[in-house]
Amino acid sequence: MGRMRIVLVHPAGSNWIPGKKDVTAVANRMVPSGLLSIAAYLEASGHDVLVHDCLGPHAPPDAPRNARAVIDLAPDMVGFSTTTSSFLGGHEMARIIKDARPQTRTVFGGVHVSALGPELLERFGSIDCLVIGEGEQTLAELAGGRPESAITGLIWRDGDRVATNAPRPHLGSLDDLPFPAYEKLVGFPRGYNLPPFSYVRAPGTAMITSRGCVYQCSYCDRSVFGRSFRSNSAEYIYEHMKYLRSRFGIRHVNIYDDLFTTNRKRIMTLCHRLAERPVGVQFNCAVRVGHTDDELLTALKQAGCLMVSLGVESGDPALLEELKAGVTLDEVRATVRKIQDKGLRAKGLFMMGVVGETEESIRKTSDFVIELGLDDMNMSKFTPFPGAPCWRTIGEHGAFEEDWRRMNALNFVFVPKGIESRQRLDELYNTHVKRFYTDPGWRRRLRGRLWQHRHTLWHMLKNLPAFLAARRHFEPGR
């Protein structure tokens, strides 16, 4: 088939608050790392590749206009990487593209596609085929003209029937992959931004240095990378950071691995290299409660780590045992203390509205959040996703509304039996999130480092109406 012109699309997904302007990208516009990895791989395979980020700083505001922008690029193939909330918007774009250019092949991949598989081809007629699992090799073989029947990891239309090929084995060495094609993002890096107060140097970006997770939490979808754990070497990560600094001027990287510190030797090697030969980049990462010792934290600090995140999920001991078996509140307390004693910032990650949640468990979590004295906190709204273990039985534990557009951890689509209504759950969420950000202890810590956060403050000032709208949403009773 030779050289193909391929456009890879990151669909916008749903609104944070339905019916209102979406402010999430203003607060945190992340690069689509997986898509950029595929773009680099396809380009190395000899294809002409463009990336269209519908959440990018210069993207049109709706699916039809984004579709027109893709059509104007005259692609032979369009690949969509979708989450649950962005799938329907992506399909709307695919339908418009197909109407205008029937010869263009439309391919969908991502976590939602890997979880649901063939039923999506049966239900959505504007999709030609689905990529299950990792996309680099599958898309390269498809673009290279290999027969669809011979491509592992592909679900395709064989006449009137949907054919499901054998799964594709995981990529061997992740170090064999080229660095993600950041240069294909319009407006990168200045048009992309990390969450407020999570960095002190700008510009910043995100990075993923491993795939898969050895754990199987009830709420987590592992459809793409599975339960195996594969990672880039310390040398590869070091060179990746160096490349981001020299090519794009990046000063801060958020590492979004599920289990960044799982391979301790890898992290210690990386930290020693960054300490001995600094590249001028700070970073944030996640650590696991109970697997965080003084030597590791010291090494992270010396390497340029600013903040580490901990997945805590709940401050109710019974719920915590369900969500993170073997982790205790005392262990969480001790880990936060150790992190801060080493001069690192501690960020707690929590979920509200999980199976078994009650007003009492929410109150316990809220009290625990304040007690911990965290430097930052994120409270996501529990969302059951199609590939998660809890998906099959979720209806037994409360009221679940399977509205894909709202399934993004920013809306409550599930109301556990212990909470009277979705409205009440939203009230509790708004009250307790506001409680953290109005807590005198947190405000005192922030005041002490306000000058460090001048990049965040300037960004907020430039986008003040959007941030004020978001703040009003957290006022109880609104």
pLDDT, averaged per 10 consecutive residues of the chain (478 residues), comes to 90 64 71 96 98 94 95 98 95 98 97 95 97 96 97 97 96 94 96 91 95 66 63 97 98 92 93 98 93 94 97 95 89 96 97 97 98 96 90 94 93 96 96 95 91 85 75 54
How many C-beta neighbours within 10 Å does residue 265 have?
8
E strands, 288-400, are 305-313, 345-352, 376-381, 398-400
Q: What's the CA gap between 111 and 155, in Å, rounded?
A: 14
Domains of the chain: 5-164 (3.40.50.280), 194-473 (3.80.30.20)
b (16+ CB within 10 A) / e for 177-196: beebbbebbeebbebbbbbb
> Which helix or strand (DSSP H or E) is residue 63 part of?
helix 63-71
3-state secondary structure of 144: coil
* Helix residue ranges per DSSP H, 179-290: 234-248, 264-276
Q: What's the CA gap between 5 and 207, in Å, rounded?
A: 26
Q: What's the CA gap between 215 and 226, in Å, rounded?
A: 10
3-state secondary structure of 25: helix
Q: What's the CA gap between 107 and 38, in Å, rounded?
A: 13
How many C-beta neighbours within 10 Å does residue 91 have?
22
- Name which of 160, 232, 47, 374 is nearest 365 in CA terms: 374
Asked if residues 234 and 266 have their Cβ atoms less than 8 Å apart, the reply is: yes
Q: What's the CA gap between 257 and 288, in Å, rounded?
A: 11
Question: What local confidence, expressed as pLDDT, does residue 216 receive?
Answer: 58
Give the up-direction half-sphere exposure of residue 3: CA atoms within 13 A in the CB hemisphere.
6
What the block records as the tokens of 93 is 């774009």
Residue pointed to by tokens 């064989």? 158
Is 393 buried (19+), middle (13-18) or exposed (0-12) by CB count in 10 A?
exposed
Paired with 230 in beta bridges are 211
- Name which of 382, 379, 377 is nearest 409 in CA terms: 382
What angle is formed at CA 385 by the lines to CA 113 and CA 135, rounded to 5 degrees?
A: 30
Question: What local confidence, expressed as pLDDT, does residue 33 receive?
Answer: 95
Spell out the residues 6+ positions from residue 367 whose beta carbon is closer than 8 angstroms to its own.
315
Q: Residue 383 has what DSSP assignment?
A: -
Question: What local confidence, expressed as pLDDT, does residue 450 receive?
Answer: 86
Q: What's the CA gap between 420 and 225, in Å, rounded?
A: 37
Q: What's the CA gap between 346 and 387, in Å, rounded?
A: 30
Q: What's the CA gap between 320 and 314, in Å, rounded?
A: 5
Question: What local confidence, expressed as pLDDT, does residue 23 receive?
Answer: 62
End-to-end CA distance of the chain: 57
Cα Rg, the chain, nearest whole Å: 22
- Name which of 221, 14, 32, 211 is nearest 115 in CA terms: 221
Alpha carbon distances (Å) from 275 to 6, 319, 413: 40, 39, 45
Paired with 109 in beta bridges are 81
Give the up-direction half-sphere exposure of residue 82: CA atoms within 13 A in the CB hemisphere.
35
3-state secondary structure of 450: coil
